[in-house]
């Protein structure tokens, strides 16, 4: 029992660290955030606790206000990709939610250049809640990016998913 309590307390501590780091970013300059804080957050995204990972992802919304699209460098994109393979559907849901918010905040070019390919993987996620948040965020992004984005990016992905016979009917229903 002591070991379980200790592990919970340690995870809670790391969740608090993740939140604090994202708050500290507002008082530091861009280089300090990039050089000092981002590596810590990327390391926390590798934690065993899904709660820690979710806190980091939630904090990235705040951090993105400091760094803008520069937040999504190679290491961060790789970390997102790893989180989208996470067993916990709540972690994947928080990542898709974040990517949708980032897309709306930074616009089409930044989203297309950095997150779009990762984001559109939500169609094939095994959790219905994750597919649902992806669907919701796609609608919000479509409103911001316009008809061109829908016809060039979203509709082809919908058709690809819908016509994939290897996916279950539930995945295809997301498209409909």
> Mean pLDDT of residues grouped by 10 in the chain (176 residues)?
55 88 86 90 92 91 83 88 93 92 87 87 86 88 90 80 64 59
Q: What is the pLDDT of residue 6?
A: 47
Among candidate residues 30, 78, 22, the one with its CA nearest the CA of residue 54: 22
Q: What is the pLDDT of residue 42?
A: 93
CA angle 10, 15, 17 (to 5 degrees): 95
Q: What is the pLDDT of residue 161?
A: 65
Q: What is the pLDDT of residue 153?
A: 85
Max CA distance (Å), the chain = 57
In the block, which residue shows the tokens 């970013």? 25
Query: What residues contact 107, with CB distance under 8 A and at least 6 apart?
Result: 144, 145
In the block, which residue shows the tokens 């992806």? 134
Predicted structure pTM score: 0.82
Q: What is the pLDDT of residue 176?
A: 58
CA atoms within 13 A on the CB side of 108: 12
Q: What is the pLDDT of residue 175?
A: 56
The 10 Å Cβ neighbour count of residue 162 is: 15
Query: Hey, what's the torsion of the CAs at 42, 109, 142, 60, to 10 degrees?
Result: 20
């Amino acid at each position: 029992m002591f070991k379980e309590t200790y592990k919970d307390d340690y995870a809670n501590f790391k969740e608090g660290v993740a939140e604090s780091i994202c708050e500290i970013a507002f008082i530091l300059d861009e280089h300090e955030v990039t050089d000092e804080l981002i590596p810590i957050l990327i390391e926390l995204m590798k934690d065993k606790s899904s709660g820690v990972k979710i806190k980091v992802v939630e904090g990235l919304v705040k951090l993105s206000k400091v760094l803008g699209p520069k937040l999504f460098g190679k290491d961060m994109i790789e970390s997102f990709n790893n989180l989208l393979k996470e067993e916990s559907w709540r972690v994947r849901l928080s990542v898709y939610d974040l990517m949708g918010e980032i897309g709306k905040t930074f616009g089409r070019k930044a989203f297309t250049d950095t997150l779009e390919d990762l984001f559109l993987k939500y169609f094939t996620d095994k959790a219905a809640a994750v597919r649902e948040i992806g669907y919701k965020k796609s609608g919000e992004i479509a409103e911001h990016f316009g008809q061109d984005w829908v016809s060039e990016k979203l509709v082809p992905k919908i058709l690809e998913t819908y016509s994939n016979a290897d996916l279950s009917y539930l995945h295809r229903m997301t498209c409909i």
